[in-house]
Amino acid sequence: MDRLEANRNYDCFCGNGIATEFVAGYLLEKNNLGLSDPAPFKVAIISDRQVSGYYYNEFENQFILRNIHPRLIACDAQEASKSLKTVSEIVADLRDQELGAQDWIIALGGGGIIDCASFAASVYSGRCNLILVPTTLGSMAESTVAERAYLNSGKYKDAAFIKAEPTAVFADPKFLATVPGKFKSNGYAPIIRLALLADPSLVTGLTEKSDLREFLNRIYAARTAVEIKNPRLLTLGNEIAAAIEGYFRFMNYSEGEALALSLYSCIPNALRSPLASVYSKLGLPVTLQGVGRDMILKSLKENLRQAGSNTVNVVDYDAAERGKWVLRQLTANEAMELFASRLDVIVPKG
């Protein structure tokens, strides 16, 4: 089991099998208990039905062997259900179990589960400890080191957020073998964004086999470099991606597919051909199907109106600045013109 260099105030571990072998022992260690000591705490494991179907029995077994009997809270945490309603149901279950400050919440799943569980842990009055066990590349690369947990509302993406910080993260490579193909893009897209912003070599890690611990450390190093420069650069592509997801009510395109499309629309012409080749290998789209350009522009305009500001900060490529990405402060009209030019790249003509 190796520590990851995530530049966070909590432990991040990576290793094959650590999720099903070391999490229970970590909780006992944090409570200064031996393997045979009775545990004076409760454990709630929050997971989605698909992940729990694959892994829950194996994951639970390490607790049973130590005479700890966790409670499974199974929920739907796809983008369409990543909502206050889901969090409310989780909080009600935590309350029913009477979990308190000495107890533990474990999020076992992808980014949706991690957001919902982290949000619930942050607002729940019992103030439980939180462990994250990500099961997708996206949640390992992004959700576990995000400083906030986000929820959607109706067609609005990231409509609510709260500051959230776990006690520890356990990233286990074996989970990646069961991620459905459509949702692998949720891991690819944020890494491609970091590649564009800070470290182009990260793309190689997506198209070739690499050691997960080493790859995650490179991802975290790139993220840290961007955060030091300007953390708002990490919003590159968010606007069009949110409009695509919201228009389709989070159904037609996965979060990663929507972001991949938006990133493709942002880059200069010289980069599009090589990036299109990468997208082809990863199964990512380069054109937006099923909706016209004007409808996405309408969604973008509504999102700007909802923000309630006369100016908009948008990350854009600046060829004059030696190919750097910069944060531009634009009027709403200027922002809409920029978004329209980007949509021309990904929306088929006619």
Residues 27 and 164 in one domain: yes
Q: What share of the chain is helix, strand, coil (3-state, %, to 5)?
A: 55, 20, 30
Average pLDDT over residues 104-120: 96
Residue that wins the pLDDT comparison between 36 and 339: 339
Q: For residue 211, is it within any domain?
A: no
Q: Is residue 88 within 8 Å of residue 120, measured between CB atoms?
A: no
3-state SS class at 342: helix
Q: H or E stretch including 254?
A: none
Instruction: Give the pLDDT confidence score for residue 350 in this predicted structure.
Output: 60
Instruction: Give the pLDDT confidence score for residue 314 in this predicted structure.
Output: 97
Q: Minimal CA–CA distance to 6: which of 204, 200, 213?
A: 213
C-alpha to C-alpha distance for 142 and 89, rounded to whole angstroms: 25
Residues 25 and 143 in one domain: yes
Q: For residue 87, is it within any domain?
A: yes
Instruction: Give the pLDDT confidence score for residue 323 in this predicted structure.
Output: 66
Domain end position, chosen among 179, 209, 236: 179
- Domain of 266, CATH number, reads 1.20.1090.10
Average pLDDT over residues 307-324: 83
3-state SS class at 98: coil
- Please state whether beta strands 129-134 and 148-153 pair in parallel, antiparallel, or not at all (unpaired): unpaired
Average pLDDT over residues 248-266: 94
3-state SS class at 169: strand
Domain end position, chosen among 164, 179, 194: 179
Instruction: Give the pLDDT confidence score for residue 279 in this predicted structure.
Output: 96
Residues 247 and 336 in one domain: yes
Q: For residue 281, is it within any domain?
A: yes
**Count of structural domains, the chain:** 2
Residues 29 and 135 in one domain: yes
Q: Is residue 67 within 8 Å of residue 56, measured between CB atoms?
A: no
- 308: confidence class by pLDDT, cuts 50, 70, 90: confident
Q: At residue 2, does pLDDT exceed 90?
A: no
Domain end position, chosen among 122, 150, 179: 179
Residues 166 and 25 in one domain: yes
Q: Is residue 146 within 8 Å of residue 134, measured between CB atoms?
A: no
Residues 167 and 302 in one domain: no
What are residue 330's DSSP bridge partners? 312
What's the pLDDT tens digit per position in 220-243? Answer: 999 999 999 999 999 999 999 999
The structure's pTM equals 0.92
Residues 57 and 172 in one domain: yes
Residues 96 and 233 in one domain: no
Q: For residue 68, is it within any domain?
A: yes
Q: What is the DSSP letter of 235?
A: G
What's the pLDDT tens digit per position in 11-48? Answer: 999 999 999 999 999 999 988 887 777 788 999 999 99
The domain containing residue 126 runs over which residues? 2-179
Residues 36 and 162 in one domain: yes
Instruction: Give the pLDDT confidence score for residue 37 in this predicted structure.
Output: 75
What's the pLDDT tens digit per position in 44-67? Answer: 999 998 888 889 999 999 999 998
3-state SS class at 53: helix
Give the length of the chain.
350
What's the pLDDT tens digit per position in 138-157? Answer: 999 998 899 999 999 988 99
